[in-house]
A and B are shown apart, each in its own frame.
Chain A
Amino acid sequence: MILRLAIGSLLARALTVGMTVLAIALSVALFLGVEKVRTGARASFADTISGTDLIVGARSGSVQLLLYSVFRIGNATNNVTWESYQDIATRPEVDWIVPISLGDSHRQFRVMGTTPEFFDRYKYRGGRALTFAAGHSLGDLYDTVIGADVADTLGYAVGDPIVVSHGLASFTAHSDQPFRVAGIVAKTGTPVDRTVIVSLEAIEAIHVDWQSGAQIPGKTTPVDVIRTMDLTPTAISAALVGVKSRLQVFKLQRWINEYPEEPLLAVLPGVALQELWQIVGIAEKALIGVSAMVVVTALLGMMAMILSSLGERRREMAVWRAMGARPATILSLLVLEAALMAAAGAVLGVALLYAGLALARPWVDATFGIWLPIEPPDVRELWVLAGVIAAAALASLVPAIRAYRMSLADGMMVRI
């Protein structure tokens, strides 16, 4: 009966209560949304690479190496010579090695030179292999395989021509050596979706007439001639390495890091990712802190709403008291009302969150490559919701204690 009366009391003030519930709902949706994006981003990053034991590049920072080699974020400060690459490839610990050459682009997408082995060795989301939605792997020198987002965004199909631009923000195109789309990789939710993949030799081929980052004036080697040339690269940006036994990873890593011929860096992807989380952890905490403050603000708004309604509810409190309700009953009635508002806000917030996720997911995926999972609230999120309701009950103690005191002081004959 008390619960029914509390609900009735809230419904009688539908507008103010509705606004309060909406404020709580939006704050809950924001708080859980930040958490979803945070965990979604972490999961997407963690899912991007699996099965690779070491990433090797020129000596820089481990996070930088991870970012440019796997996530196509930032650039390599230096290259790895082909000789060094071959020295690593011939180490007895190495099971497989895939070179990566970055630096050029097509429209807003990065171009990556590699070997066809990349399509067999690159694994994501717990060991899944790349598959082709259309076409096939690299065959001809001027074949290219594009990611799903490249195909979707630019409307490319197998057989379409592609001209690669020199560098990342350049107006100079390698238009004399156009590529042909040979295959489209099925959607992975990784940076591969936003990558134009060509062969390592093709990267050499399009730079035949280039020196020090600029085209040699007046020199245009015919494609037929280029096809006959030795296109072994002189340098690569990085390499993905798989070892025969996990026990050998650290031995190989130490050998590469101490490689005397040139300064190299070998990192374990998981360790580099952890370093990355440590860096972004502060920003994450700040974001969580801000969204938590929004929840606190909404709860303070609720407290203010209850406080301001006490004046006009003194007569109601007097009726309760006259019927035999103890001041503690009045206190618990107000706490119950607050908990009900918070519970309604929490449920509405979760509904808003899922509606928002459903609407934003395709855009977030396409724009940031972050896959936001739409799953039932987990135990942690349920604890958050319970925490919001408990915090609301706690916040309502301020007006509830005031009502308690008023009901003691007013007696039962309130004159308003």
Chain B
Amino acid sequence: MTEVRFRWPGRASFAIDVPAFRLEQGESVLLLGESGSGKSTLLSLTCGIVAAQAGRIMVAGTDIASLRTGARDRFRAEQIGVIFQQFNLLPYARVLDNILLPLRFAPVRRARAGDGHAEAEKLCESLGLPARVLSSAAGRLSVGQQQRVAVARALIGRPPLIVADEPTSALDAATQDSFLHLLFAQVREAGSSLLMVSHDERLGSRFDRVIHLESVVNTQGADA
């Protein structure tokens, strides 16, 4: 990100300014920040959900800030895997449908994934999920299982960038550790970069870099 400036439409009190922030290919970075510090806004900008008013946001060689809305959505589907904090999945859909959902909007990623069903099965197996869960409704799984399904969904088709928004906050300490172990193993295997935001400093030892948000982002007001 270079000279990025963003203000939420209709919320004049909050704005962020990112003079420079870089994430190398294959690198894992933990962004630490308190609630309201602009973490969500930064991730929304990175994923191209919202467009910056100024500056450049290069992801895998493309300036997403310059793309039109439709192209940004398509780019996100093709290049970025997203893991949420919680309520990650469509609870009424089968696990398989949840994992394959991003491929629905990304033809290149779909082609890269090959046989989507087999790929989803392989990812689940690597993440310690039995194959039978693929046909279960996602809402019936435990929170830990749901987070692993979310990882499988983010990794399917090996997108170059994985963005994770406090994915361990809903997990207990033991589950957190095994979840991060699996996540890092899979991200490494896919050769993806990992950008995770959290307020938990203890996670830092696993990452290539730990960055405090305030060192890269200037905020004005407080984020919602």
Q: Is the CB of A412 within 8 A of B44?
A: yes
Residue A415 CB within 8 A of the other chain: yes
- Is B44 within 8 A of A323, CB to CB? no
- Verify A411–B50 contact, CB threshold 8 A: yes
CB distance from A324 to the nearest CB of B (A): 2
Report the separation of the CA atoms of residues A318 and B50 in the bound assembly, to the nearest whole angstrom.
12
User: Are B97's CB and A1's CB within 8 A?
Assistant: yes
User: Are B90 and A8 within 8 A (Cβ)?
Assistant: yes
How many chain B residues touch A (CB < 8 A): the figure is 40
- Bound-state CA distance A316–B139 (Å) is 12
B76 touches A322 (CB 8 A): yes
Q: How far is the CA of A146 from the CA of B8 in the complex (A)?
A: 85
**A1-27 CB contacts (< 8 Å) to partner B:** 1-2, 4-5, 8-9, 11-12
Question: Is A324 a contact of B106 with CB atoms below 8 Å?
Answer: yes
**Contact flag A9-B92 (CB < 8 Å), given A322-B82, A411-B44:** yes
Q: A12-B91, A412-B43, A413-B40 are in contact. Are A321 and B49 (CB under 8 A)?
A: yes
B214 at interface by CB-CB < 8 Å: no
Of B21-29, B66-74, B183-191, B199-207, the stretch lying at the interface with chain A is B66-74
Instruction: With both chains docked as a complex, state the minimum distance between the C-beta of B106 and any C-beta of chain A, in angstroms.
Output: 6
Question: What residues on A are CB-neighbors of B82 within 8 Å?
Answer: 322-323, 412
Chain A residues near B (Cβ < 8 Å): 1-2, 4-5, 8-9, 11-12, 315-316, 318-327, 329, 409, 411-413, 415
CA–CA, A413 and B43, complex, Å:
8
Q: Which residue of A lies closest to B70 (CB)?
A: A326
Q: Which residues of A contact B77 (CB under 8 A)?
A: 323-325
Most buried by A among B70, B91, B94: B91
Q: How far is the CB of B97 from chain A (nearest CB, A)?
A: 6
- 12 A-B pairs besides A1-B100, A321-B73 with CB distance below 8 A are A1-B101, A5-B101, A9-B93, A319-B87, A319-B88, A322-B47, A324-B74, A324-B106, A326-B69, A326-B70, A329-B105, A413-B40
Measured in the bound complex, the distance between the Cα atoms of B94 and A379 in whole Å is: 39
Q: Is the CB of A9 within 8 A of B74?
A: no
Assuming the contacts A326-B69, A412-B47, asked whether A5 and B97 have C-beta atoms less than 8 A apart, the reply is yes
